[in-house]
Amino acid sequence: MRPNPPFDRARPEAHGALDLAELERRGVDPEEVVDFSASVNPCGPAPAVLEAARRADIACYPDRTCLGLRRTLARRLGLDVSWICPGNGSAELIDLLARLYLSPGDAALVVGPTFGEYGRASRLCGARVLRWDRGVRGGEVSLDLDGLAGAVLRERPRVVWLCSPNNPTGDLLPGTGVRRLLGAVEAAGGLLVVDEAYRDLVLRGEPDDLTGLLEGGRLVLLRSMTKAHALAGLRLGYALAPPEAVRALEVARPPWSVSAPAQAAGVAALSPAAEEHLLRSRRLLARSAALLAEGLSRLGLRFAPGAANFFLVEVGSGRGVREALLRRGLQVRDCASFGLPAHIRIAVRRPEENARLLAALGEVLP
């Protein structure tokens, strides 16, 4: 039987990370591949986080309301628990938010080029997806905020999706910019979703705290714990949103979607020992990013000096360079699915791994 529209013609979005079927087709051993295509902390989870996940009782159902994790987050963020909704990765929360706020025929505006899930989730709700794109030229990324605010007032989208720092361009919109955009979204009667998945991996400057803007009731912040705390396989993220949105998210979320090990790992990730691990990881990544930038410049490449732990690099053919690197056991993200076929995205890894990538790039570039 045919699935209902629009599911019958929906296609999955392209993503980074290893695809075992692809590697099998190419005869590449996954154990031999260094993954620069997913921007996850290469130092791995803090020992305390691993230990907490191991100790979780997987024979019992997890707490459906994630109360322990929400209380720990609430203390850390200075918010009430009623403003916090964990999810099975922030990807689950993107999906749920679209279902909560978008009906067939509604407009959703995606500030692109960006993570593909905002568009996918919106389309699956029957929404019309509009795009307002940053300019991307070699190493220059520019967002015309006045133009974007004007488009919001004109098109009156129900939901505006903004990623900051943005995947794959790395640009971070300061609090003043978010406030300006939120003003337009409020005037247009919509909801602004700011995805801060890479917030804890900002290596240059400090991201502004946007939680003070939540009070107005038209903003949702999404945070991921899979990147900075290296829990991509465990899956954990959370939304910060007004209580009525959190209540609706909890109803829409399938029960037990946040596993017991994920909840335990999340609590441990907020402990002082794990915070120290993250701080050390960020220091290492900042040094490593500076060396990677120097190496890319030496190769004569143009790249966006993003705020977070990845670079968008212009290479001519993203697909060709990805394939040539994969043959050498290095996977990068071909950016064609973002509408940037001349670019690849490289996650910052440890200096010795980056050096290997730079050497391989030197061989494969025309």
3-state secondary structure of 161: strand
- Candidates 49-57, 77-85, 86-94, 334-342; binding stretch for ligand PLP (CB under 6 A): 86-94
- Judge contact between 111 and 160, C-beta under 8 A: yes
Tell me if 41 contacts ligand PLP by CB under 6 A. no
167 binds ligand PLP per the rule CB under 6 A: yes
Q: Pick from 36, 115, 132, 161: which binds ligand PLP (CB under 6 A)? A: 115
- Using an 8 Å Cβ cutoff, are 313 and 343 in contact? yes
The yes or no reply on residue 249 touching ligand PLP (CB under 6 A) is: no
Applying CB under 6 A, which part among 65-73, 83-91, 207-215, 246-254 lies near ligand PLP? Answer: 83-91
Residue of 48, 53, 85, 91 interacting with ligand PLP (CB under 6 A) = 91
Among 46, 48, 66, 163, binds ligand PLP (CB under 6 A): 163
* Binding to ligand PLP in span 14-33, by CB under 6 A: none
Q: d(Cα 279, Cα 260) in Å, to the nearest integer?
A: 26
Structure tokens at 243: 């209580």
**Dist. CA 53–CA 228, nearest whole Å:** 16
How far is residue 269's CA from residue 231's CA, in Å, rounded to a whole number? 10
Please give the backbone phi and psi of residue 304, each rounded to the nearest 5 degrees, phi first: -85, 120
Kindly state whether residue 121 participates in binding ligand PLP, applying the rule CB under 6 A.
no
Q: Which residues pair with 194 in a beta bridge?
A: 162, 221
Q: Does 224 bind ligand PLP (CB under 6 A)?
A: yes
For ligand PLP, which is the closer residue by CB, 114 or 354?
A: 114
Q: How far apart are CA 118 and CA 91, in angstroms?
A: 9
Q: Based on CB atoms, which residue is closest to ligand PLP, 45 or 237?
A: 237
Residue 81 in 3-state DSSP?
Answer: helix
Q: Decide if residue 237 touches ligand PLP (CB under 6 A).
A: yes
Nearer to ligand PLP, 88 or 188 (CB): 88
Residue nearest to ligand PLP (CB): 89
Task: Tell me how far apart the alpha carbons of residues 359 and 41 are, in angstroms, rounded to a whole number.
Answer: 22
Q: Which is nearer to ligand PLP, 225 or 321 (CB)?
A: 225
Q: Which stretch binds ligand PLP (CB under 6 A): 53-61, 89-97, 303-311, 318-326?
A: 89-97
Task: In whole angstroms, give the CA distance from residue 202 to residue 285.
Answer: 10
| Total number of residues that touch ligand PLP (CB under 6 A) | 12
Which window, 43-51, 178-186, 224-232, 325-333, contacts ligand PLP (CB under 6 A)?
224-232
Tell me which amino acid residue 213 is: L
* Beta pairing, strands 140-142 & 135-137: antiparallel
Candidates 62, 86, 89, 266; binder of ligand PLP (CB under 6 A) is: 89
φ, ψ for residue 330 (rounded to 5)?
A: -130, 125
The pair of three-digit structure tokens given for residue 24, joined into one six-digit string: 């099998």
Residues at the interface with ligand PLP (CB under 6 A): 89-91, 115, 163, 167, 195, 197, 224, 226, 232, 237
